[in-house]
């Protein structure tokens, strides 16, 4: 598992293009998949924050995703779709609760600076196990030409 800055050092194209996709609307937007206690899956819209070399989430204290992350930490994150395109960015790994008030305050300030709001939240650091970036060549009239160029980390052998 690595931090965002480690990913950027080892796979700069994935981190750079992935950040563009997460922040394409100004406010960073993605879908977060978590595992329920009974093994079922959930998916939730979230605002992942890249700050000081890490990727963070502030999760509402009464949200089911908070309990999922506190229980086992496993997650998958997928950037919101691109308007008029098909590019994709996905991460998977483990979320760790960070109960440090100063860190939470800094992450909240970084989120609010994008135009989002935050309130009664729990702070999680996202450690990255794998990443996938899919970039499509533009197609006249919109969308992308199949197959895309795939960039994986760690790279497949």
Q: Whole-structure pTM over 0.85, yes or no?
A: yes
Q: How many domains does the chain have?
A: 1
Average pLDDT over residues 58-67: 95
CB of 50 within 8 A of CB of 29? no
**What CATH number does residue 135 fall under?**
2.30.110.10
Q: How many CB atoms lie within 10 A of CB 53?
A: 12
pLDDT in tens, 91-116: 999 999 999 999 999 999 999 999 99
Q: What is the mean pLDDT of the chain?
A: 95
Domain span at residue 42?
Answer: 4-153
Q: Which residue has the tokens 């499509």?
A: 136
Average pLDDT over residues 127-153: 91
pLDDT confidence band for 117 (50 / 70 / 90): confident
65 has pLDDT over 60: yes
Give pLDDT, residue 157. Answer: 56
Among 20-24, 79-83, 95-99, name the one with the lowest average pLDDT: 79-83
Give pLDDT, residue 97. Answer: 98
CB of 13 within 8 A of CB of 133? yes
């Amino acid at each position: 598992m690595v931090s965002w800055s480690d990913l950027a050092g080892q796979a700069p194209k994935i981190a750079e293009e992935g950040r563009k996709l997460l922040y394409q609307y100004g406010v960073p937007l993605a879908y977060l998949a978590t595992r329920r206690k009974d093994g079922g899956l959930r998916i939730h819209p979230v605002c992942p924050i890249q700050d000081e070399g890490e990727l963070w989430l502030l999760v509402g204290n009464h949200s089911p995703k908070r309990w999922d992350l506190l229980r086992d930490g496993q997650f998958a994150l997928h950037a919101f779709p691109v308007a008029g395109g098909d590019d994709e960015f996905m991460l998977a790994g483990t979320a760790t609760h960070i109960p440090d008030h100063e860190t939470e305050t800094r992450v909240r300030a970084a989120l609010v600076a994008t135009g989002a709001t935050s309130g009664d939240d729990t702070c999680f650091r996202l450690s990255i196990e794998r990443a996938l970036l899919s970039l499509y060549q533009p197609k006249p009239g919109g969308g992308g030409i199949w197959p895309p160029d795939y960039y994986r980390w760690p790279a497949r052998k």
